Amino acid sequence: MHSVRSFLLVGLCIAVAPLDARAAPRKPPTIAPFEAVAVRLPAAPADAGFAAFRQTLAGVAQRRRFDELAHYVRPQGFFWERDSGKRFAPRRSGAENLAAALGLGDGSGIGWQLLADFAAEPSASALASSPGVLCAPAKPNFNQEDFDNLIDATHFPRDNWVYPRSAGVALQLAPHSDSAVLETLGSYFVRVLRSVTARANAAPLRTSWTRVAAPSGKIGFVAPDTLRSPAAAQLCYGKDLAGRWIITGFVGGGGD
């Protein structure tokens, strides 16, 4: 009888063990920690006229009226840097080149949404090569030598590194809003591992959850539209001869 009870007890333990293993909480993956390179985000420009202009631009983007948009784009002298294979045509008007840069005519509406996102962007910074021109989003401030050392130490290229658009961005265990929070990210660079749930032809950081590695070594997911690349595309603004704010140029994503 004793041997039968022992056999039954061993069998019960074998049967229960897999259930206990399945019930165990999933441990998030990690990598080797890396140096946190701080990023300082510029403040929004203190210009009421500029803010009002971007509100007007947001309305134009919502209505998707190219003829209306053309009134707010420099007709001649519009510049377009880092066009990523798209063709700038000097003989076209500024509005036509802007439409080509954003993809306003592709029928998907993504270009108009991109214009709306630019209009809603609170930050902007001066363009060093063009006095009087502001470009949004603002370029972040960080120590270039520290960033170069980070790239050398981790062996991951520049386009793998992004930063939170604001303080308090959550690093979560899974790509959904009610997932467990692993930690709260600070204002520093994190390493992109991959984007998930991205819509076709849309900017991944803006539209999808992104799997990243934090300086702590923890790996998790960050919600859409909470991260930004230091080489993000910029829409640029200036004033015409009458002192009216207009769109003066576009800087494509990428570059150093």
Q: Are 99 and 79 in contact (CB under 8 A)?
A: no
**Residue 164 tokens, joined:** 């939170």
Q: What is the edge-to-edge ordering of all strands in the sheet holding 234-239?
A: 79-81, 245-251, 234-239, 134-136, 125-126
CATH topology of domain 144-228: SH3 type barrels. (2.30.30)
Q: What is the pLDDT of residues 196-248, one digit of tens each?
A: 655 555 567 777 899 999 999 999 999 998 999 998 899 999 999 999 999 99
Give pLDDT, residue 199.
57
Which residue ranges of the chain lie beneath pLDDT 70?
A: 1-28, 83-86, 195-203, 254-256
Q: Tell me how crowded residue 135 is: count the other CB atoms within 10 A of its CB.
A: 25
Helix axis angle, 110-120 to 48-63, nearest 10°: 160
The C-alpha atoms of residue 254 and residue 234 are separated, in whole angstroms, by 11
Alpha carbons 146 and 40: distance in angstroms, whole number: 14
Residue 126: which residues within 8 A CB-CB, separation 6 or more?
133, 134, 135
Range(s) within the chain of domains with CATH label 2.30.30.40: 144-228
Triad 201, 207, 208: Cα angle to 5°: 105
Q: How deeply is 139 buried, as exposed, middle or buried, from its count of CB atoms within 10 A (0-12, 13-18, 19+)?
A: buried
| CA dist list (Å): 121 to 33, 117, 135, 220 | 32, 6, 10, 26
The Cα–Cα gap between 196 and 5 comes to 52
pLDDT value of position 55: 95
pLDDT digits (tens, 9 = 90+) for 98-115: 999 998 987 788 899 999
The model's pTM? 0.77
With tokens 């069998």, the residue in question is 11
Task: Please name the residue that has the structure tokens 């015409």.
Answer: 240
103: left (phi over 0), alpha (psi -120 to 50) or beta: left
pLDDT of residue 20: 40
**Local structure of 57: helix, strand or coil:** helix
Give dist(CA 254, CA 157) in Å, integer: 12
